[in-house]
């Protein structure tokens, strides 16, 4: 959550409970709720994730310009890829986004509790007891099994409503969605339930981040077959979406056309290309910077060791800075003796094992480094920068995981 965003459980409407919006688009808590905000959002420890909501909006506009024929379903699942879902959703809502996408019913409920009124699509399917919550909170369900349709229709009848849904087909991802063999039965079940309006048709590409992928081409062909079967069954879903960030940036079809009219960018919204070959396709800027500060400095002699297991030994008299961030915050143990941070515009190596709450860096070559200095873990300082991609390579993972892994006890601060 961003420190100046609304909180889980906050009323969605009413003069006393509605979020106040500044001219900059930031949502500030009213006095009653300021007293109730999360203790971990207090800015006491210098560790925080700074979220540039202006860059977020510009990324959204750049993607709209890149693919002018498409509306945007902005993915804000997983706490907006670690960026703070409620403040991100509010800013995108103000920018005119068509839909917001989440994975869980609970994530959709959190947005509604924070006063987000834009349409929200729950893409992970639902769970027992979740359909009533979706109908009550005006969340749009993704369905792909007959029991989904029956449960959603029953919840709609009990509420006296007609509800929208998106149908997901499995074109080759092998995760969720109705198979080609199941599709006729699912469509027949939808015809029996007038309580459900089929608003959208969706699928998901497994290898869109791979250049010239034969699997992607095969999935596009299956999508066409599925789309025709849906139309032949008498349905005309207004929204058709298959393109994630990779397809949006990398496929000619991903920029719009008869088969699709909606794209689902996630990582690209937050300013990163999903794969190196997609960099530079659209003008994107990273939204998240991760920062902390020096809380202690010590001089150690040559031969001294640092941190658990004595995995680092000083080869010269050295100056070691302690930072209040560790693997409990998402700064992984895998960065031990491998990563660097930025201090006074210079790189300083992480030395010794990263601890649960702290890590140490060698600032011997950083002239005049002092307690209280700002330290950049992800972002830019002076002429140097450290990216989520750089950290991902050190940990043997992907930048998605680095961003989503920034821990819940790290406050998100809108800048």
Q: What is the CATH number of the domain that holds 240?
A: 3.20.20.10
Q: How many H-runs (helices) and E-runs (strands) does the chain carry?
A: 12, 22
| The last residue of a domain, from among 242, 276, 310 | 276
Same domain, 248 and 335: no
Same domain, 321 and 341: yes
- What's residue 61's pLDDT? 97
The pLDDT score that the predictor gives to residue 239 is: 96
Specify the pLDDT at position 26.
41
Enter the tokens of residue 410: 């790290």
Average the pLDDT over each of 13-17, 51-55, 68-72, 87-91 and give the range with the smallest value: 13-17
pLDDT grade for 15, boundaries at 50, 70 and 90: very low
Which of 8-12, 128-132, 342-346, 405-409 is predicted with the least confidence, judged by mean pLDDT?
8-12
Q: Are residues 170 and 310 in the same domain?
A: no
Confidence of residue 23 (pLDDT cuts 50, 70, 90): very low
Residue 335 annotated to the active site? no
Residue 63 lies in a domain: yes
Specify if 174 maps to a domain: yes
Domain of 387: which CATH number? 2.40.37.10
Residue 171 Rama label (left phi>0; alpha psi -120 to 50; beta): alpha
In a domain, 25, yes or no: no
**Better-scored residue on pLDDT, 39 or 186:** 186
pLDDT digits (tens, 9 = 90+) for 319-331: 999 999 999 999 9
* CB distance 156 to 162 below 8 Å: yes
Q: What percent of the chain clears pLDDT 90, i.e. is strictly above it?
A: 85
Averaged pLDDT, 360-375: 97
pLDDT above 60 for 1: no
Same domain, 381 and 294: yes
**Do 187 and 304 belong together in one domain?**
no
Residue 393 annotated in active site: no
Average pLDDT over residues 386-404: 97
What is the token pair recorded at 250?
């990398």
Pick from 5-9, 149-153, 248-252, 377-381: least confident: 5-9
The token pair that represents 244 in the structure block: 């994630």
pLDDT beyond 90 at 76: yes
Place of tokens 């609970």: 106
Cα end-to-end distance, the chain, whole Å: 13
* pLDDT > 60? residue 36: no
Please check whether residues 311 and 268 belong to one and the same domain: no
Residues 260 and 390 in one domain: no
Task: Name the active-site residue from 77, 168, 270, 291.
Answer: 77
Q: Are residues 163 and 251 in the same domain?
A: yes
Confidence of residue 258 (pLDDT cuts 50, 70, 90): low
- What is the structure's pLDDT at 261? 92
* Nearest alpha carbon to residue 370 among 297, 303, 319, 312: 297
CA distance 144 to 187: 9
Binned at pLDDT 50, 70 and 90, residue 179 comes out as very high
> Do 166 and 208 form a contact (C-beta atoms < 8 A)?
no
Please report where in the chains the tokens 């920034």 appear, as a residue. 406
pLDDT tens per residue across span 118-174: 999 999 987 777 999 999 999 999 999 999 999 999 999 999 999 999 999 999 999
What is the predicted pLDDT for the residue at 257? 66
Q: What is the pLDDT of residues 300-312, one digit of tens each?
A: 999 999 999 999 9
Average pLDDT over residues 103-115: 97
| Mean pLDDT value across the chain | 91
Helix, strand, coil fractions of the chain, as percent rounded to 5: 35, 25, 45
Identify whether 296 is part of a domain: yes
CA distance linking residue 206 with residue 204, whole number of Å: 6
Q: Token pair 């709450």 is at which residue?
A: 357
Q: How far apart are CA 373 and CA 396, in angstroms?
A: 30
pLDDT number for residue 120: 98
DSSP-derived 3-state class of residue 204: coil
Residue finishing a domain among 250, 276, 302: 276
Our count of domains for the chain comes to 2
Claim to verify: residue 237 and residue 165 sit in the same structural domain? yes
pTM, two decimals, is 0.89
Residue of 127, 168, 308, 327 marked catalytic: 308
Please tell me whether residues 355 and 225 are part of one structural domain. no
What is the pLDDT, as a whole number, of residue 19? Answer: 38
Give me the sign of the Cα torsion angle 146, 152, 158, 160: negative
Range of the structural domain that residue 114 is part of:
53-276
């Amino acid at each position: 959550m961003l420190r100046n965003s609304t909180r889980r459980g906050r009323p969605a409407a009413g003069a006393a409970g509605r979020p106040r919006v500044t001219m900059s688009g930031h949502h500030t808590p009213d006095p009653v709720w300021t007293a109730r905000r999360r203790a971990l959002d207090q800015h006491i420890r210098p560790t925080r994730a700074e979220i540039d909501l202006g860059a977020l909006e510009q990324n959204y506009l750049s993607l709209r310009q890149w693919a002018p024929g498409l509306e945007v379903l902005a993915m804000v699942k997983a706490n907006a890829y670690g960026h703070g879902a409620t403040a991100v959703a509010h800013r995108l809502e103000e920018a005119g986004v068509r839909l917001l996408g989440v994975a869980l019913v609970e994530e959709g409920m959190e947005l509604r509790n924070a006063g987000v009124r834009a349409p929200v699509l729950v893409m992970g399917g639902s769970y027992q007891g979740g359909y009533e919550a979706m109908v009550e909170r005006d969340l749009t369900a993704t369905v792909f099994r007959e029991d989904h349709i029956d449960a959603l229709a029953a919840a709609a009848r009990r509420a006296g409503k007609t509800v929208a849904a998106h149908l997901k087909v499995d074109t080759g991802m092998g995760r969720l969605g109705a198979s080609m063999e199941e599709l006729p039965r699912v469509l027949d079940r939808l015809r029996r339930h007038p309580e459900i309006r089929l608003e959208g048709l969706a699928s998901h590409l497994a290898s869109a981040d791979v250049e010239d992928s034969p699997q992607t081409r095969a999935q596009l062909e299956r999508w066409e077959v599925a789309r025709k079967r849906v139309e032949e069954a008498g349905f005309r879903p207004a929204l058709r979406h298959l393109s994630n960030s990779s397809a949006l940036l990398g496929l000619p079809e991903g920029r719009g056309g008869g088969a699709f009219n909606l794209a689902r960018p996630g990582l690209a919204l937050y300013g990163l290309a999903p794969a190196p070959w997609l960099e530079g396709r659209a003008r994107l800027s990273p939204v998240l910077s991760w920062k902390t500060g020096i809380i202690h400095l010590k001089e150690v002699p040559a031969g001294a060791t640092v941190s658990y297991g004595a995995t680092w030994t000083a080869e010269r008299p050295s100056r070691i800075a302690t930072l209040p961030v560790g693997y409990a915050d998402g700064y992984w143990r895998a960065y031990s003796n491998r990563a660097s941070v930025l201090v006074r515009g210079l790189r300083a190596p992480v030395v010794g094992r990263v601890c649960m709450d702290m890590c140490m860096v060698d600032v011997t070559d950083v002239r005049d480094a002092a307690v209280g200095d700002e330290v950049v873990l992800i972002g830019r300082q002076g002429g140097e920068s450290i990216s989520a991609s750089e950290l991902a390579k050190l940990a043997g993972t992907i930048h998605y995981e680095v961003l989503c892994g920034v821990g819940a006890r790290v406050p998100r601060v809108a800048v």
